[in-house]
Amino acid sequence: MFCRAILENAEDMIYSHDLEGRFIFGNKAAERLTGYTCAELLEMNSSNVFGPEYEQEAHALIANGLRSSHVVREIEIVAKEGHRWPAEVCMQPLYRDGELLGVQGIVRDIRQRKNLERQLEQMARRDHLTGLSNRRCFEEELQLQLAQARRYGTSGALLFLDLDHFKDVNDTFGHSAGDELLVGVAQLLRERLPETSLIARLSGDEFTIILPRAAIDEARRLAEQVLTWLRNSPFLVAGQRLTVSASIGITPVAPNGISTAEDLLSRADVAMYQAKESGRNCVCLYSADMDWRARIESGLEWRKRISEAIEGNLLMLCAQPILDIRQNRISQYEMLVRIPDEHGRPIDASKFMDSAERFGFVQAIDRWMIRQTIGILAEYERLGRAIALEVNLSGAAVGDADLLLMIRDELITNSVDPRNLVVEVTETVAIADIHRAQRFVSALKRLGCRFALDDFGVGFSSFYHLKHLDVDYLKIDGSFIRDLPRDAVDQHLVKAIVEVARALGKETIAEFVADEETLQLIRALGVDYAQGYHVGHPGEIREVLGEHTREAGSAA
């Protein structure tokens, strides 16, 4: 009686049928899931309720006849009203007194699971901001277009669109305004391009458009039309109407053309950059001349080199000393990332960071820098030689909540004094989205870390925002320091930065200090720290910190 109650009240459909498929038993869940009453089910055959794939498995199970046999399959339920829905069945042979009577099983409704799987698949192939296809979906579709071009001899075109001066929108109105603009552009493309087009957002303000079976002249006309639509369609951004333009590169998708989606994308990318160099707001077709080919190979080479450095753990960590001017001693170091050239020599970050940002490697570099830096802090603290290290993070870090969690976990795991970790981002990144920057800085300060604002002074509107950013250091931009002894205006500006910083309880670091004259001048102007070739060149981390240890030992 107890078992009968369990069967009747189970959430899943429990059933049995004879060797011919006629139902012998069905519980209450069977009524709910099929729409038939139990009396109706007992007069029906399993083929009336379960799809043909079930019948094949049931016959095989009966033919096998093994007591221990069981099968789990996804099947289709045909309900009384005629609609169909997915289910999962677990079935096994039904025996009584040693005689094989038929099949018994449990059927579970998996509609919710299937809907979730579809949603996850959709999310994995869609850009979360614009709803367009993402890079993964785009690359799959482009490879498919290439395969079809080879097989059927058809042609198409690939457009690479990059908004002109998009950074100015982010810097002026903030990243949320930039997002509004991207959504507006995506909507315009979706509404006006042919339905056969595949539109994707690769990253940032970069969009790609695949035009199946389009001749190159047709693709060019459509690209020119896109530019006209953008110019004539002001976008409402941060309460203001903005008119935008774009640069578009085009390359054919031809049966006898290039073999991989990545190479095709690189060609369209190079064509787009040629459009930018031609004055922006224009369209440029890919050309196969040698200069362009070299640029493609250069872009691919940087992408390959950065990827190999990250995946092979070949990134190099260098350090540059920072002088405490008042105490006349090296007090801390800025950590600098490098990648090795073919001879193992370090390549300066200025040569590859643009490519790293473009190809989506900066977050991996940020994480590597943090882990390495905290590991070195832990090593020196265990030796009783505490040092302070600065890490300059990318603009992407400001909105990266996972990075904050990683910093917290690494500090705890390594038992590092968080005050010895100084995180810095550039002034333009912070001011571009002041509210996001505030949250980022506040979170780091709660962890106990210190914070520096790099390249400070480029935009003097930033003085207004300083009181809202709880930073410890202002790193005065090198453009004010390079000619400081010879430029009276720079001297007044540096003095103003120092006075504002002192009033707000912040310290200043002068970058690009190249000689003794400049060092003495910034000392007189009240700057707290100096960094530059006169203080010390960047060098391999162990070598530079080894000098610090030797100097500290000599002073003792």
| Cβ atoms of residues 169 and 179 within 8 Å | no
Distance CA 147, CA 249 (A): 22
Task: Give me the residue label for tokens 């800025």.
Answer: 334
* Domain layout of the chain by residue ranges: 2-114, 126-288, 304-555
| Cβ atoms of residues 235 and 185 within 8 Å | yes
Amino acid identity of 219?
Answer: A
Give the model's pLDDT for residue 489. 84
User: Of 391, 394, 318, which is closest to residue 353 (Cα–Cα)?
Assistant: 394
Distance CA 139, CA 134 (A): 9
Question: Which residues lie across from 316 on neighbouring strands?
Answer: 338
Distance CA 536, CA 327 (A): 16
**What is the pairing mode between strands 13-18 and 99-109?**
antiparallel
Distance CA 392, CA 538 (A): 14
First to last CA, the chain: 87
Give the Å distances, CA to CA, from 79 to 49, 57, 115, 403. 7, 20, 19, 49
Distance CA 241, CA 64 (A): 73
Contacting residues for 451 by C-beta, under 8 A, at least 6 apart: 422, 423, 424, 441, 444, 445, 470, 471, 472, 473
Q: Where are the alpha helices (DSSP H) in 339-469?
A: 349-358, 362-382, 401-414, 427-432, 434-447, 462-466
Q: Which residues of 485-502 are buried (b: 16+ CB within 10 A; e: fewer)?
A: eeeeebbebbeebbebbe
Question: Which residues lie across from 208 on neighbouring strands?
Answer: 160, 200
| Cβ atoms of residues 293 and 258 within 8 Å | no
| Domain covering 304-555 in this structure, CATH number | 3.20.20.450
Task: Give me the residue label for tokens 């050239």.
Answer: 341
Range 20-25, long-range pairs (CB < 8 A, 24+ positions): 20/45, 21/45, 21/46, 21/47, 21/55, 21/58, 21/102, 22/46, 24/94, 24/101, 24/102, 25/104
* Helix, strand and coil percent figures for the chain, each rounded to 5: 50, 25, 25
Distance CA 387, CA 380 (A): 7
User: Of 486, 495, 493, which is closest to residue 526 (Cα–Cα)?
Assistant: 495
Amino acid identity of 55?
Answer: E
Rounded to whole angstroms, the maximal C-alpha distance in the chain is 106
Distance CA 238, CA 38 (A): 62
User: Of 100, 31, 97, 106, which is closest to residue 59 (Cα–Cα)?
Assistant: 100
Give the model's pLDDT for residue 285. 92
Give the model's pLDDT for residue 551. 52
* Mean pLDDT in order along the chain per 10 residues (556 residues): 64 92 92 90 91 84 77 89 88 89 92 75 74 88 86 87 84 81 94 93 91 93 94 84 90 77 85 82 79 57 85 91 94 92 84 77 92 94 89 84 92 95 81 76 93 74 67 89 89 91 92 94 96 92 70 44
| Cβ atoms of residues 133 and 148 within 8 Å | no
| Cβ atoms of residues 444 and 424 within 8 Å | no
Q: Where are the alpha helices (DSSP H) in 68-215?
A: 111-124, 135-152, 166-173, 175-192
Kindly report the pTM of this predicted structure.
0.52
Domain 2-114 identical in fold to domain 126-288: no
Tokens read off for 297? 């190979």
Domain 126-288 CATH (choose: 3.40.50.1010, 3.40.50.10900, 3.30.70.270, 3.40.50.720): 3.30.70.270
In three-state secondary structure terms, 475 is strand
Give the model's pLDDT for residue 417. 95
For 204, phi and psi rounded to 5 degrees?
A: 50, -125
User: Of 57, 45, 540, which is closest to residue 335 (Cα–Cα)?
Assistant: 540
Task: Give me the residue label for tokens 């053309």.
Answer: 257
In three-state secondary structure terms, 326 is coil
Distance CA 539, CA 346 (A): 9
- Domain 2-114 belongs to what topology? Beta-Lactamase (3.30.450)
Give the model's pLDDT for residue 432. 57
Give the Å distances, CA to CA, from 135 to 125, 140, 180, 261, 549. 8, 9, 20, 11, 48
Contacting residues for 229 by C-beta, under 8 A, at least 6 apart: 188, 192
